[in-house]
Structure 1
Amino acid sequence: MALERISVSLDQDLVAQFEQFLQARGYRNRSEAIRDLIRDKLEAERTDQAADGHCIGTLSYVFNHHERELARRLTNAHHHHHHVAISTLHVHLDHDNCLEAVVVKGPTGQVREFADGIIAQAGVRHGHLSLIPVEVADERHSHGNAAPEHTHIKPQT
């Protein structure tokens, strides 16, 4: 891959904040951080524009498990969207609050609908959906034996 050198002008305050960001995140140089920031922004734009495409990602949220009927409503939402909610990690934070991280995949519109429904529940706080647009292909090929048809999910670049 060929690299192209570009020049960027920034005010001193922004450079100082960026240097703190580099140190906090452990970047070895500015170029690596700028590439990651550009990729993140382009990926977000692609995902926003590709509502009819497919994605993979994570939905994370904190909720108060004492909230009336909330645990039941969340479980029902997961079961209703079992084709989108692939796996869930449940963590007890304290006597009242839990964190759930859900691996999601599927048509972007359906994933967003599921996430919006979870985040909008009374008692759910700090909801965040992170998506990566993907290309989906059903394939049949051999991995050393007669493999059945299976799905390949390739992140878009």
Structure 2
Amino acid sequence: MTVISITLPPDLLNKFETFMETKGYYSRSEAFRDAIRSLITETEIAKAQTENVAATIMVTCDHQRKDIDIKLTELRHEFDDVVIENVHRHIGEKYCLEIFITQGNNNRILTLINRLRGMHGIQQVKSMFLML
């Protein structure tokens, strides 16, 4: 197997280590491989959908990062052809939850998801697709 290295902030590494112990992974490598497989499978399932889909996209981010609100607003406007609803909620004092309800071109929605995943300060992006 090929060896790679990644850089993680300490708090994310601590959470990952706790996750590994809880789920019973025997190594970091195995846990990362499983996470990567899951992400790839999710993307493949999304691409297998028909051209016209509906999807919910849940995004979590740090409440203190006000720059993320600006970036999310810009993305909502850029993708207003597929974003039909958007909900913003504070979860405790530390987190924000954004829920995007989308409908339309599958590739356009996948592009939105990829852009969200690529934003600095976004902690997690989860999506669920429905064929129309």
| TM-score bracket for the superposition, by shorter chain length | 0.5 to 0.7
Structure 1 segments unaligned to the other structure (5+ residues) = 1-40, 135-157
RMSD: 2.0
Partners in 2 of 1:86 and 1:54 — Cα distance?
14
- Corresponding residue for residue 54 of structure 1: 52
Residue aligned with 2:60, SS: strand
Q: Measure how far apart 1:116 and its partner are.
A: 1.2
Q: Measure how far apart 1:119 and its partner are.
A: 2.2
Give the helix-richer structure, 1 or 2: 2
1:113 alignment partner AA: T
Count of residues in Structure 1 that have an aligned counterpart in Structure 2: 90
Partners in 2 of 1:89 and 1:77 — Cα distance?
14
Show structure 1 runs of 4+ deviating over 6 A: none
1:76 alignment partner AA: E
Partners in 2 of 1:57 and 1:68 — Cα distance?
26
Structure 2 segments unaligned to the other structure (5+ residues) = 1-40
Q: Structure 1 residue 121 and structure 2 residue 119: aligned?
A: yes
- Corresponding residue for residue 101 of structure 1: 99
Given the two structures, how large is their TM-score scaled by the length of structure 1?
0.52
Give aligned-pair identity as a percent: 16
Give the structure, 1 or 2, with the largest relative contact order (CA under 8 Å, sep 6 or more): 2
Residue aligned with 2:81, SS: coil
- Structure index of larger Rg: 1
